[in-house]
Structure 1
Amino acid sequence: MSSSPSTRSQTAVPDVESQQPKAQYNGEESLELKSLQYEVTLEHHEHPQSLSLPRKWLIVLVISSSALCVTCASSAASFTENGVSETFHVSQEVTILAISLFVEGLGLGPLLTGPLSEVYGRNIIYRVSFVLLFAFSFGVAFAPNIAVYLVFRFITGLCGSTFLSVAGGSVSDLFDNKTVANPMAVYTISPFIGPVVGPLLSGSIFQNTNWRWTYYTLSIWTFTQTFALFVLVPETYVPVLRKQKAISLRKSTGNTKYFAPLEKSEINLGQAILISCYKPFQLMLYDRMALLLNTWTSLILGILYLAFQAFPVIFETNHGFNMQDTGLAFLGIGLGMLCGLASQPYWNGVFAREAEKNNGVAPPEARLYMGEVGGILTPLGLYFLAFTTYPSVHWIVPIIASIFFGTGIYFVFTCVFTYLVTAYRPIAASAMASNSAMRSTFAAVFPLFASYMYDGLGTAGATALLAGVMTLTVPLPFVYRRIGPRLRAKSRFAVA
């Protein structure tokens, strides 16, 4: 970071006084111009987008693996339930709360971390988040009773939620609009691959040791991610980088006039947090488009988390799998997500063609083409899964069926996330927070009634019911792609 006065002369506002007669300005304008000369901006080489491509991708991968670590911890509890139940002498219904409370923490955390990141930067939030996550994970791994276990599961979910709200901003800091699609796709898929990896990890561990080793392993992984965040991930938030440069210039030159806009802004942190708490719910209350899109993704995530209770019934009861093999059965969903990610270059071409039709800027509705495919694949995969769960059908068939479901998940979430950010750009953080809060609530609740539903309706009936619910949402992206511009024009929040 440059700190010499001569460097500052390159970053200041152009020398207006040498280009225009001084008499044109009154005293206030002249004073304002002089003040602007001390406003610190970044040189090209100081901007995060000027980092080398390998370095930028390394940062994206560290951030993405951190998000994967957090969401893996959310679902890893699914295969520790029997061990926790035996250790603490509680019913399985109580142990399911370990998933529900963690996921609810993931949903509520962004309401706090979003405003904090806009004041203090992204890097300090990441580091504090994972240091706390590592510290509190010991409360889960060494819990002496069920109350301590559940309380620390909620707290760790709250601490880890940073990477579901702030991390997307880091990706956009590093890449411009033309190159951000692929790294954003890698980041977007990581929180959804995590819940698939969780049962695979915990099933293998619990099959060979005991449930506490699942959390010991997660603690080791968390420590590794914490180290990587400290060593490999720099600050990327431009307003904070300008503030840091201004502080450096004041120290090195002794001139206290240097300043960054963030230092001059009258940010009331308490008010910012209050707004971030009610703005997402205000958006859902007054904007039907946001409400229905959030409901769509919430249903899908709820079904994904419900699968952590359903797959043991399907594969252990019907096909005689052990716990480790049942964890491996989730690979079908993960493979489907990776297939969706592999199709990203095709979708980039679709968006580019839409941009050409609209003066170089693709409208938000262009993202819904991907959602149309995902909206069809999701219930299709569930129907396929529903009627292949019988013991007489080979076990590979329902796993193949889950591939379609996994691809549909990727398409739906990628399209909705991108749509919310572009359609509600002035309040993009609130739009994403509204989605996070709602979908996390669904994901927390759905596992609680999974066993009752599958016991009452059977594997085919229960899964077919879920497929039927998702069928009702199929028209959503088709309708919004056509009427979206009209709805945005009438919305009090969306960009017209």
Structure 2
Amino acid sequence: MSSYTQLGVLKQQDQNLDLDLDAAKIPTGETETSEDEVKYKDPNLVTWDGADDPLNPKNWPNKTKWSYTVAVSLFTFISPVSSAMIAPALSHLAQDLHMKSAIEVDLSLSIFILAYAVGPVFFGPASEIWGRVRLLQLSNLWYMAWNLGCGFATNKAEMFVFRFLAGAGGSAPLAIGGGALSDIWTPEDRGKAMGIYALAPILGPVVGPIAGGFIAEKTTWRWVFWSSSALAVFIQAAGLVWLRESHAPTLLKRKRDQLAKKTGNTELYIMAPTTNTTNTALQHQHQQPSQLLLSSITGALIRPARLITTQPIVQVIALYMAYLFGVMYLLLVTFPAVWSGPTMYNESLGVGGINYVSIAIGSFIGIIVNFRYIDRIYRHLKAQNGGVGKPEFRMPSMFVGSVLVTVGLFWYGWSVQGRAHWIMPNIGVVIFSAGTMACLQSMQTYTVDCYTSFAASAMAAVAILRSLAGFGFPLFAPYMYKALGYGWGTSVLAFVSIGIGFPAPFIFWFYGERLRGMSKYATG
């Protein structure tokens, strides 16, 4: 008997039965309901009309799914562009806005990333109440408005405030995107889509500084913000065309409301998980709407904190992903000093910005290889496991990626320390970026596979620590390299990657299933 049938029978038999709603499964379409089961389900329970219901996002045509995936990835791309686009022009910005310390200069860039730790706490859970599309579009408008305001800032206080508010709006796609893609893709096909999505927050900080370097050299730093806001307008238009609601409970609520209006049956209801601080009785249509809304919002906002504090899977992934993002933003901030510094490679801002292409090349290599093999490996391991898929089958990419991250860091650091030909540090960055992409795609897909029903909340929990690292690493980078040099300074980062990255895939491979079995949130 399906989960929906069971819940319907329980509702009829005993509406006072205490259930842990955190363990209830959202009707996402990943489980199918046979015709015989449909006959015996609660007639007031609104769900999909069979396994082939075209309204179910899992049954959308592939063309629609890919356009939706690209649209979500574009929304995820624009904000990271802004996060690092100002990096090559920080000296000009600091001079115009009278910033006197290095901390203030670095803060004008990294405070945008600090907001990434705040926004997902709201946006991820909120998307599980109000749906994905509305929040994606409204948050992009919010980001666009405040980012435009950064171009008109007249002092450092305005810059800090505007940058933080823009970052808060720009964080929404990072929190919502993973859940949005889990709405439409089955586990067997999800890896490729997650690869494109994972590429966006890496490619954004690469494209940003390259464009920002030439913009700052030819015009003024203010056009860095105005041009990225113009790009956000284009992405907003693309979203209006390609985005459609994919959140199953939101779609089923609309279906319920339409049926209630058509039939006059006020007893119709849907089953969806809610999170409360205590176990609650099965929620149904007789409860007051205001009580239901308040309970849903409270539970949703608490959920990311509960996930990051109680789920070892989320904790390990958050720690390693935070490290990778922190190192990536550390490189982005220190690149101008490496490539354009008078005592280093002494290139112009525009030419120095071209070196950011090495991050893009490495990321594309990582994504292309993963795109080709991650789902193929998953299906192969699933077949060997008797046709039963497991989230742990995403780990092979992470085994390889963790090694590449360490090798790339050693290569880059000592190439810069020895003032080797400019191609050598770039090769190190390519290796590091390819490994980072492999790890990120593996971890994000693993997280979504583990917490399908609560994917947005899980990704929001991970984003908190990741964003704090992206904020903090660039602040200590200048002092670390001044004390240790680029060779030993980057080697410290490489040794940390060994301590975190090497054990992580083994932990998930050998103990992931046991950890999921102990969780009331995890799939299966």
TM-score in terms of structure 1 length: 0.86
- Of residues 381, 384, 401 in structure 2, which corresponds to 1:354? 381
- Of residues 404, 408, 424 in structure 2, which corresponds to 1:381? 408
Please give the residue correspondences for 1:141-180 in structure 2 after superposition, counting only pairs within 5 Å: 141-180=151-190
| Runs of 4+ with >6 A deviation | 32-35
The equivalent of 2:511 in structure 1 is 483
Deviates more, 1:39-48 or 1:450-459: 39-48
The equivalent of 1:330 in structure 2 is 356
- Of residues 219, 224, 234 in structure 2, which corresponds to 1:224? 234
Contact 1:365 1:419 (C-alpha < 8 Å) held by counterparts: yes
Q: Which amino acid aligns with 2:436?
A: I
Please give the residue correspondences for 1:304-343 in structure 2 after superposition, counting only pairs within 5 Å: 304-317=328-341, 318-343=344-369
Please give the residue correspondences for 1:204-283 in structure 2 after superposition, counting only pairs within 5 Å: 204-249=214-259, 253=262, 255-257=264-266, 259-261=268-270, 264=284, 268-283=292-307
CA distance 1:479–1:133, change in 2 (3 Å): closer
Q: Does 1:87 align with 2:113?
A: no
Shift of 1:302: 0.5
Deviates more, 1:295-304 or 1:34-43: 34-43
- Of residues 50, 60, 64 in structure 2, which corresponds to 1:55? 64
Mapped to 1, the partners of 2:169 and 2:515 lie a distance apart of 36
- Structure of larger gyration radius: 1
CA distance 1:240–1:409, change in 2 (3 Å): same
Q: Does 1:438 align with 2:438?
A: no
- Of residues 109, 117, 123 in structure 2, which corresponds to 1:107? 117
CA distance 1:120–1:282, change in 2 (3 Å): closer
- Of residues 469, 483, 486 in structure 2, which corresponds to 1:459? 486
Q: Does 1:98 align with 2:105?
A: no
Segments of 5+ residues of structure 1 without an aligned counterpart are 1-12, 14-24
- Determine which structure has greater relative contact order: mean sequence separation of CA pairs < 8 Å that are 6+ residues apart, divided by chain length: 2
CA distance 1:422–1:221, change in 2 (3 Å): same
CA distance 1:277–1:249, change in 2 (3 Å): closer
CA distance 1:380–1:36, change in 2 (3 Å): same
Contact 2:125 2:457 (C-alpha < 8 Å) held by counterparts: no
The equivalent of 1:36 in structure 2 is 43
Mapped to 2, the partners of 1:38 and 1:352 lie a distance apart of 34
Mapped to 1, the partners of 2:140 and 2:85 lie a distance apart of 18
Q: Does 1:403 align with 2:412?
A: no
Mapped to 2, the partners of 1:132 and 1:254 lie a distance apart of 39
TM-score in terms of structure 2 length: 0.82
**Higher helix residue share:** 1
Q: Which amino acid aligns with 2:447?
A: L
Q: Which amino acid aligns with 1:96?
A: D
- For residues 85-141 of structure 1, give each alpha carbon's deviation from its aligned partner in whole angstroms, at most 9, with x where no partner exists: 111111342132133221121222121112322222211111211121222222211
CA RMSD of aligned residues (A): 2.9
- Residues matched between the structures, number: 470
CA distance 1:158–1:296, change in 2 (3 Å): same
Shift of 1:289: 4.3
